[in-house]
Amino acid sequence: MKLVILDRDGVINYDSPHFIKNPDEWKPIPGSLEAIALLNQSGFRVALATNQSGIGRGLFDMATLNAIHDKMHRALGQLGGRVDALFYCPHAAGANCDCRKPKSGMIEEIGRRFGIDIRTVYSVGDSLRDLQASAAHGAQCILVLTGKGEKTLIEGDLPENTWVCADLAEAAQRIIAHDNP
């Protein structure tokens, strides 16, 4: 099995410093949904690993998060794409849980659920914490320059061998090319 783990905000959709709190605020980055569909068509399963501390902060509830994800799933389906599994951390930063990135609890759970060695997985994010969570288990990390990506690149300290791509569309092309030399 081939698997790609994606962060959501800043990778698939535009991010907001005030959180994505309802379906109307969820807007895909141009080319991102097509990139997921291309990955699917190339034999990759796609899992999301996303921090959603807005739940823990009381900014939105589970029904709203589900509505946001329903919008994403419908938009993907119209393009022939899908997300096979969605993992999220609902905790606020101070909760000290194991699932909030940069800790790797979500990544470990994805590995268990899919029965896959994370060292064979590609992981795409726009922040250092996305990359750190996956790098802890040896995934091929990919930084996209959308969302917080440009700031993350400038700040440096990326995990060793991190690929840098303009956006998810470029990352998908590189993943597919690397998988089919």
pLDDT-above-70 percentage for the chain: 99
pLDDT interval class at 39 (50, 70, 90)? very high
Contact 172, 35 (CB under 8 A): yes
Task: Report, as an integer, the average pLDDT of 94-112.
Answer: 94
Concatenated DSSP letters of 81-92:
---SEEEEE---
Can you give the pLDDT at residue 66?
Answer: 96
**How long a stretch of residues is the chain?**
181
Sequence spans of domains, the chain? 2-116+163-179
Sign of CA dihedral 179, 102, 74, 27: negative
Sign of CA dihedral 39, 143, 169, 52: positive
pLDDT interval class at 179 (50, 70, 90)? confident
Can you give the pLDDT at residue 12?
Answer: 98
What pTM, to 2 d.p., does this model score?
0.96
Using DSSP's 3-state secondary structure scheme, residue 177 falls into helix
> Regarding the domain with residue range 2-116+163-179, which homologous superfamily does it belong to in the CATH classification?
HAD superfamily/HAD-like (3.40.50.1000)
- Residue 15 bears catalytic tag: no
Can you give the pLDDT at residue 138?
Answer: 96
Instruction: Give the up-direction half-sphere exposure of residue 155: CA atoms within 13 A in the CB hemisphere.
Output: 13
Can you give the pLDDT at residue 68?
Answer: 97
Task: Report, as an integer, the average pLDDT of 171-181.
Answer: 92
pLDDT interval class at 95 (50, 70, 90)? confident
Task: Report, as an integer, the average pLDDT of 58-62.
Answer: 91
Task: For the sheet with 44-51, list strands across it.
Answer: 85-89, 44-51, 2-6, 122-125, 140-144, 163-165
- Residue 157 bears catalytic tag: no
Contact 88, 54 (CB under 8 A): no
Beta bridge partners of 13: 9, 28
30 cis-preceded (ω within 30 degrees of 0): no
Can you give the pLDDT at residue 146?
Answer: 98
